Copies of this chain bind each other. A is one copy, B any other.
């Protein structure tokens, strides 16, 4: 077994009583699991993730993650908080109670992510205070409004001054120098947005924990591993942030990060430490992440130190892990409330001849976009999609309060030649995002999302070509993993048939509404120039 404290592999018995490790040494027991020369390591702890991104209800998430060796996660439930406020967070909390996967939470600090987004309601300091008093809520989740923190905005400082906000996760993409120092001085001591060795080094020197992220759309592990060689693993922990279910099926979860780190030359003891004890240390989970007396007996038996797929997962000492299916209450399913949308609602009037329009330029497999300018195709006084020039229409429809508010824009670089794609997963406010060549297809897709209570949909020539219903808050499926993955893959394939050229059409779509990532985004309130942090008209 691995001692994370000394870095040694020790040949000792691990005694377990009532789910807790009673001792290391030579012991007798009622039930004996023989390791037979295999390796025993602590269960993996995901230091930061949004569990809604996996699109599974939390009991199904446990069925997916436990066999991969993830025995605990620290979740920022800000997706469901945008849709259902604190009620949604409390429901997720309740739904994860008593699972063999330990689910800890951080209170969502940034709902809405910006003033340009429309969640169902904003979370105020009082909401956060209440959440942080619940068990299993560890502190304040990633402070995404880093300009606000650095600038000393009273609203952000009020959140940081709350009881319970002694422990705060950070989110500081591209923040450097004095700005980074000010952000840290406000009491924020982790970041998972470092992309380079230089950024990682600056964060470590500033006293931050470096949470190395390997998300489906943002893979930073390889770039940051040199820091482990340079400084040791002491202040570095692994996290997955946003992971697609297909990605987990194909590449693993935290165990995949350990595998890849070891393949890149990191000592197995160090890689395991960054995946178990270190996340627990950062989050002060004093009984997780190590094999020692008094720690929870979350143990993985590994046949080798290459693939990091456990033969056996013991959670609280048990290995027959039964996870009952949990009912989803009706109020969590009824979240898509829209005013009726018809073709005229998606019209983009254009007066006169000529002129240029702003267009969002996709960057393959990145969440950042380019702010482009294009001469639009105009028909009968309205801008229409122009697939010949790879320019399609984009819409974001407010879907929480049926206000009828719709933001309209243009998208370049998708490859889409026909039909429409739509999703109720649209970070962070999770309004409906729709792109399409044909307005009728877009309207059909919106109507279908409303019928489903959310999901992702592909419409071709007026009919639904593929869909993945996500009726739980418009974010999660209530179906088993295999079904969700099959539906999701069918949607991707249908999108590809319509011409979409990137690998992850709906992940890409989901981030087009996130108004805190540069450069040009669309919300239900209109186009957001993120660099200038203001709404801008379509016409330049």
Task: Give A residues with C-beta under 8 Å from B.
Answer: 3, 5-8, 10, 15, 20-25, 27, 166, 177-178, 181-182, 184-187, 189, 201, 204-207, 231-232, 234-235, 284, 286, 290, 292-295
The answer for the CA separation of A5 and B202 in the assembled complex, in Å, is 11
Beyond A24-B205, A206-B24, A286-B166, is A181–B7 a contact (Cβ under 8 Å)? no
Contact across chains for B189 and A294 when beta carbons are under 8 A apart: yes
Could you write out 13 A-B pairs with CB less than 8 Å apart?
A: A5-B234, A6-B231, A22-B185, A23-B178, A25-B181, A181-B293, A184-B293, A185-B294, A189-B294, A207-B290, A207-B294, A232-B232, A284-B284
Contact across chains for A5 and B204 when beta carbons are under 8 A apart: yes
Q: Give 6 new A-B contacts, CB below 8 A, not counting A5-B207, A5-B235, A184-B293.
A: A5-B234, A24-B206, A185-B294, A187-B294, A189-B294, A207-B294
Stoichiometry, copies per complex: 2
Contact across chains for B293 and A185 when beta carbons are under 8 A apart: yes
Contact across chains for A205 and B21 when beta carbons are under 8 A apart: no
A272 to chain B, nearest CB (A): 15
A4 to chain B, nearest CB (A): 9
Which residues of chain B come closer than 8 Å to A295, judged between CB atoms?
207
The answer for the CA separation of A24 and B206 in the assembled complex, in Å, is 7
Within the complex, which residue of B5, B22, B186, B286 is in contact with A205, where a contact is CB–CB below 8 Å?
B5
Contact across chains for B286 and A184 when beta carbons are under 8 A apart: no
A245 to chain B, nearest CB (A): 35
Which residues of chain B come closer than 8 Å to A231, judged between CB atoms?
5-7
Beyond A6-B205, A205-B8, A292-B206, is A185–B21 a contact (Cβ under 8 Å)? yes
Which residues of chain B come closer than 8 Å to A201, judged between CB atoms?
6
The answer for the CA separation of A18 and B193 in the assembled complex, in Å, is 29
The answer for the CA separation of A205 and B12 in the assembled complex, in Å, is 11
Chain B minimum-CB-distance residue to A231: B6
A157 to chain B, nearest CB (A): 13
Which residues of chain B come closer than 8 Å to A182, judged between CB atoms?
22-23, 293
Which residues of chain B come closer than 8 Å to A24, judged between CB atoms?
181, 205-206
Which residues of chain B come closer than 8 Å to A6, judged between CB atoms?
201, 204-205, 231
A175 to chain B, nearest CB (A): 12
A24 to chain B, nearest CB (A): 6
Contact across chains for B235 and A184 when beta carbons are under 8 A apart: no
Chain B minimum-CB-distance residue to A277: B207
A20 to chain B, nearest CB (A): 7
Contact across chains for A177 and B25 when beta carbons are under 8 A apart: yes
Chain B minimum-CB-distance residue to A287: B187
A178 to chain B, nearest CB (A): 6
Within the complex, which residue of B166, B205, B292 is in contact with A184, where a contact is CB–CB below 8 Å?
B292
Which residues of chain B come closer than 8 Å to A286, judged between CB atoms?
166
Chain B minimum-CB-distance residue to A17: B185
The answer for the CA separation of A177 and B15 in the assembled complex, in Å, is 13
A213 to chain B, nearest CB (A): 19
The answer for the CA separation of A218 and B412 in the assembled complex, in Å, is 74
Contact across chains for B3 and A205 when beta carbons are under 8 A apart: yes
Which residues of chain B come closer than 8 Å to A205, judged between CB atoms?
3, 5-6, 8, 10, 24, 292
The answer for the CA separation of A334 and B232 in the assembled complex, in Å, is 56
Which residues of chain B come closer than 8 Å to A189, judged between CB atoms?
294
Chain B minimum-CB-distance residue to A183: B293
Which residues of chain B come closer than 8 Å to A292, judged between CB atoms?
184, 205-207
Which residues of chain B come closer than 8 Å to A25, judged between CB atoms?
177-178, 181
Which residues of chain B come closer than 8 Å to A5, judged between CB atoms?
204-205, 207, 231, 234-235
Within the complex, which residue of B8, B20, B293 is in contact with A207, where a contact is CB–CB below 8 Å?
B293
The answer for the CA separation of A24 and B3 in the assembled complex, in Å, is 35
A267 to chain B, nearest CB (A): 13
Which residues of chain B come closer than 8 Å to A8, judged between CB atoms?
205
Which residues of chain B come closer than 8 Å to A294, judged between CB atoms?
184-187, 189, 207
The 8 closest A-B pairs by CB, nearest first: A23-B181, A207-B292, A185-B293, A184-B293, A185-B294, A181-B293, A6-B231, A3-B205
Chain B minimum-CB-distance residue to A187: B294
Chain B minimum-CB-distance residue to A201: B6
The answer for the CA separation of A234 and B7 in the assembled complex, in Å, is 11
Chain B minimum-CB-distance residue to A185: B293
Which residues of chain B come closer than 8 Å to A185, judged between CB atoms?
20-23, 293-294
